[in-house]
Amino acid sequence: MSSITDPNMSIRFTSAMEEIHNKQLKTYGEIIDVTTELCQSHRQFVKSALDTCLKKCKDDEILFDTIQTFTRDLEQKNASLKGKQHAISEMISEIQHKEMQKDDIIQKIEKLKEEQVKRKELIESQNKANKLRLRNLQKARVVFQDHLGMEIRTISGKTQVVKGGKLQFVFRNISLSDPDSAYVVTMGITEDRSYQIVSSDPVLECLPALERRLQETNNLAAFLANIRKEFISQARG
């Protein structure tokens, strides 16, 4: 073992210490280099993470703005849809009301058609009855005016029961003592198109019964014949 008094010993110790120190410096340098690399890597990672976060935040802001825009558009569309739904409801109600009016108008038209058909049938029936009465009057005229000298006069009706024209049947050759003496029965047609005896001169007590018989049979010729017989019976009785 070398003595500590050996002068070379100090040199060797110093050299060993320098070698150890250099190794440590080298180790520290390597640690510093690794640490530096780690720091740089960490800074790059942090920068990358920060950039990513910033980009994400910016994207989130854009997304949030887009969502708000979509939300506003949706609210506007919902409001517009509600308005359209209300308008459609009103339109449907109006259409239903018009359909009801249409059905009511159709019913009224059908009712008017039915009434028109009834009026037409009534007019045709009245025309037939009038034609029949006209034929009866013509027959009565032939029988009584041409063969028996009966005179038929037309007068204006002023009563509410018998409206329009009235007829007077003037009988002659009734009284043997006065053949020219006039025996008169006045008649017309009521609103329901039936014969109405207005008066007779002279008065015949059986006139109401003869009138009822005329309304039942509608035979004017027979009625006038019976009237003549009654006048003759009253004049010669």
Per-residue pLDDT tens digits for 143-180? 666 666 688 888 865 544 444 568 899 999 898 899 88
**Among the listed residues 137, 166, 146, the one whose alpha carbon sits nearest the alpha carbon of residue 154:** 166
89-to-81, 82, 86 alpha-carbon distances in Å? 12, 10, 5
Low-confidence ranges of the chain (pLDDT < 70): 1-7, 130, 134, 137, 140-149, 156-165, 237
Considering only CA atoms, which of 132, 137, 199, 136 is closest in space to residue 162? 199
Which distant-in-sequence residues (6+ apart) come within 8 Å of 200 by Cβ?
184, 185, 186, 207, 227
* Domains defined along the chain, listed by start: 126-236 (3.30.457.50)
Alpha carbons 105 and 150: distance in angstroms, whole number: 57
If you average pLDDT over every residue of the chain, what do you get? 82
Which token pair is 46? 């942090």
Residues 6+ positions from 2 with CB-CB distance below 8 Å: 8, 9
Please provide the DSSP assignment of 121-140 as one string.
HHHHHHHHHHHHHHHHHHHH
